[in-house]
Amino acid sequence: MLIIGPPGSGKGTQAGRISERLGIVAISTGDIFRANVKQRTPLGIEAKTYLDSGDFVPDSVTNNMVRERLAEPDVAGGFLLDGYPRTSAQVEELDAILAAGSTGLDIVLQLTADHEELVRRLLSRAAEEGRTDDNEKVVRRRLDLYERETSAVVREYAARGILVAVDGLGAIDEVTDRVMAAMSRVVGGRG
């Protein structure tokens, strides 16, 4: 499964909760990028230049990272991708990666949230965590990029009939309850 939504919509929090409840591994491209940046790996150094300016890391870097991660044994029982795919080209690449492994997606969960609330959340997180990639200019750029580039991804998965949208605002437990209920309706409706 995938979880998508704008930066600050609670994807990471909800991915962790879904992963725990369903017993599947959560794979966050953002966490992998940040770990590489912190460790100053070649990927991290390259990724940092894009992250600091609010741009997406290029598909060539991201696709290879995801391909390698999905080949690891812990994803055999299921997985939840957080932060990928973000573009139509990445959707095509993910389709190829999954087809090579004779698997597919069951559901794409979209968390939605008000734009200004997302700016507030991200700036608050930046202050708490000291994140250099989250100043107001960069935050607004990332949100604009998300809307522009990811709208095609949302349309693609909606056309496939596997997209479910859930309001990402509210108390964490309330959002989790909405997510799990929406997922059970979609997956249960296929049974």
DSSP conformation letters of 9-54: SSHHHHHHHHHHHHT-EEEEHHHHHHHHHHHT-HHHHHHHHHHHHT
Q: What is the pLDDT of residues 136-181, one digit of tens each?
A: 888 898 899 888 888 899 999 999 999 999 999 999 999 999 999 9
Indicate whether 18 pLDDT > 50: yes
Q: What is the pLDDT of residues 68-124, one digit of tens each?
A: 788 889 998 899 999 889 888 999 999 999 999 888 899 999 999 999 999 998 898
Distance CA 141, CA 35 (A): 22
pLDDT of res. 36: 76
Indicate whether 190 pLDDT > 60: no
pLDDT of res. 42: 82
Report the pLDDT averaged over residues 2-27.
92
| CATH code matching the domain that covers 2-183, chosen among 3.30.43.10, 3.30.530.20, 3.40.47.10, 3.40.50.300 | 3.40.50.300
Q: For residue 17, what are the contacts with CB-CB under 8 A and spacing of at least 6?
A: 172, 176, 179
| 150 marked ligand binding residue | no
Is 142 catalytic? The answer is yes
pTM over 0.85: no
Structure tokens at 109: 């969960």
> Angle at Cα 13 formed by Cα 2 and Cα 157, nearest 5°?
20
Distance CA 18, CA 174 (A): 13
Q: For residue 48, what are the contacts with CB-CB under 8 A and spacing of at least 6?
A: 37
Helix (H, G, I), strand (E, B) or coil at 93: helix
pLDDT of res. 20: 94
| 79 marked ligand binding residue | no
User: Residue ranges of the domains in the chain?
Assistant: 2-183
What amino acid is encoded at 5 in this protein? G
| 9 marked ligand binding residue | yes
pLDDT of res. 189: 56
pLDDT of res. 17: 95
pLDDT of res. 191: 46
Is 185 catalytic? The answer is no
Catalytic residue among 125, 140, 141, 178: 125
Catalytic residue among 48, 69, 121, 142: 142
How confident is residue 26, by pLDDT bands cut at 50, 70 and 90? Answer: very high
Is 67 catalytic? The answer is no
